[in-house]
């Protein structure tokens, strides 16, 4: 009996893992006239290369859609939250790619406040009818990995996400311009990875 209970528990854990991953196997479907809003800080702006080589520009070329670059270098999540609604009102995006929090992490600001700010950005974007792709930002360490709060938020809101690309790319010298920013090649690869999460009908 105990053996059967253990088997049942293992099956339950396996099934829950499958369901947790299922959303990230789903592609966000957009039409040819869809508008994409890339919202964030310097990693969205394209610091480390030119604006023309930022990931939103590369994504625009890859998808053939309008991609609006609303990245502000040095911005913390509290400031981002304050400006988001006005941009949502003016651009009416079908998809928001949210890549924010790096400056909160570098400045050692409250991670619980960062999580709250990101949650409010997600909810605000969804209230305007936009899908959200959440991009995970790594914490400083020898082996980079995204802060766990990004995965928690992706699971909580059942989001399509790209949690690992920035961590992976920033560990490759050929992909970065400095310790926290990508170069032209790195941004192009980030755009390629995000594009895999999107299907244009």
Domains of the chain listed by start with CATH number: 28-200 (3.40.50.1110)
Grade residue 141 by pLDDT with cuts at 50, 70 and 90: confident
pLDDT at 37: 98
Tokens of 133: 């792709």
Q: Rounded to whole angstroms, how far apart are CA atoms 103 and 87? A: 21
The CA distance from 75 to 79, in Å, is: 6
Q: Which residues pair with 35 in a beta bridge?
A: 66
Instruction: Confirm if 150 and 161 have CB atoms less than 8 A apart.
Output: yes
- Residue 50, classed as helix, strand or coil, is coil
| Tokens 């941009």 belong to residue | 87
Element (H, E) at 188: helix 184-195
3-class state of residue 95 by DSSP: strand
Q: What is the tens place of the pLDDT at every residue in 55-66?
A: 999 999 999 999
Could you report the per-residue pLDDT of 93-131, keeping only the tens digit for each?
999 999 999 999 999 999 999 999 999 999 999 999 999
Q: Given a cut of 80, is residue 176 above it in pLDDT?
A: yes
pLDDT attached to residue 25: 67
pLDDT score at 5: 41
Percent of the chain with pLDDT over 70: 88
Token pair belonging to 101: 């929090």
SS3 label, residue 177 = coil
Average pLDDT on 190-200 reads: 98
Give pTM, 2 decimals: 0.87
């Amino acid at each position: 009996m105990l053996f059967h209970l253990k088997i049942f528990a293992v099956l339950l854990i396996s099934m829950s893992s499958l369901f947790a991953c299922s959303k990230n196997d789903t592609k966000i479907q957009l039409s040819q006239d869809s508008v994409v809003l890339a919202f964030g800080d310097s990693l969205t702006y394209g610091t480390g290369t030119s604006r023309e080589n930022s990931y939103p520009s590369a994504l625009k070329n890859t998808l053939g859609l309008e991609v609006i670059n609303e990245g502000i270098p040095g911005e913390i999540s509290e400031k981002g939250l304050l400006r988001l609604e006005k941009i949502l009102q003016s651009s009416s995006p079908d998809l928001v790619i949210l890549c924010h929090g790096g400056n909160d992490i570098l400045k050692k600001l409250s991670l619980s406040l960062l999580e709250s700010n990101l949650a409010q950005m997600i909810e605000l974007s969804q209230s305007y009818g936009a899908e959200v792709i959440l991009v995970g930002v790594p914490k400083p360490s020898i082996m980079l990995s995204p802060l766990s709060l990004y995965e928690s938020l992706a699971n909580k809101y059942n989001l399509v996400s790209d949690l690992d690309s920035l961590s992976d790319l920033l560990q490759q010298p050929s992909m970065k311009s400095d310790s926290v920013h990508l170069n032209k090649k790195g941004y192009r690869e980030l755009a390629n990875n995000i594009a895999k999460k999107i299907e244009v009908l």
